[in-house]
Copies of this chain bind each other. A is one copy, B any other.
Amino acid sequence: MTQVKPMRADARRNYERLLKAAAEAFAEHGEGASLDDIAKRAGVGSGTLYRHFPTRQALLEAAYVDRIKALSGRADELGRELPPGEALVAWLNELCVGIIQVRGMKALLGSAVTDDGVAAVTACGTHVRAAATRLVGAAQREGTLRADVEPIDVLRLVHGVATAAELANADGSGTRRYVSLLTEGLRPVRS
List the interface of chain A (C-beta within 8 A of B).
Answer: 110, 113-116, 143-147, 149, 152-154, 156-157, 159-165, 167-170, 178, 181-190
Contact in complex: A156, B167 (CB < 8 Å): yes
Give CA–CA (A152, B185) in the complex, Å: 16
Chain B residue with Cβ nearest A145: B186
Residue from B154, B164, B188 within 8 A of A144 (CB atoms): B188
Contact in complex: B185, A154 (CB < 8 Å): no
Give CA–CA (A155, B149) in the complex, Å: 23
Known: A144-B187, A185-B187, A186-B182. A160 touches B149 (CB 8 A): no
Given contacts A185-B186, A190-B190, 16 further A-B contacts (CB under 8 A): A110-B163, A116-B170, A146-B186, A146-B188, A146-B189, A147-B188, A153-B164, A156-B164, A160-B161, A160-B163, A181-B182, A182-B185, A182-B186, A184-B185, A185-B185, A185-B187
A144, A145, A149, A182 — which one has the most chain B CB atoms within 10 A of its CB? Answer: A182
Known: A182-B186, A185-B184, A188-B143. A161 touches B167 (CB 8 A): no
A3 to chain B, nearest CB (A): 31
Contact in complex: B169, A161 (CB < 8 Å): no
A-B contact pairs, 17 of them (CB 8 A): A116-B170, A144-B188, A145-B186, A146-B181, A147-B188, A153-B164, A153-B178, A156-B168, A157-B161, A157-B181, A157-B182, A159-B164, A159-B167, A160-B163, A160-B164, A184-B187, A185-B185
Contact in complex: B149, A115 (CB < 8 Å): no
A145 to chain B, nearest CB (A): 6
Residue from B153, B170, B181, B183 within 8 A of A149 (CB atoms): B181
A65 to chain B, nearest CB (A): 20
Give CA–CA (A169, B110) in the complex, Å: 13
A142 to chain B, nearest CB (A): 10
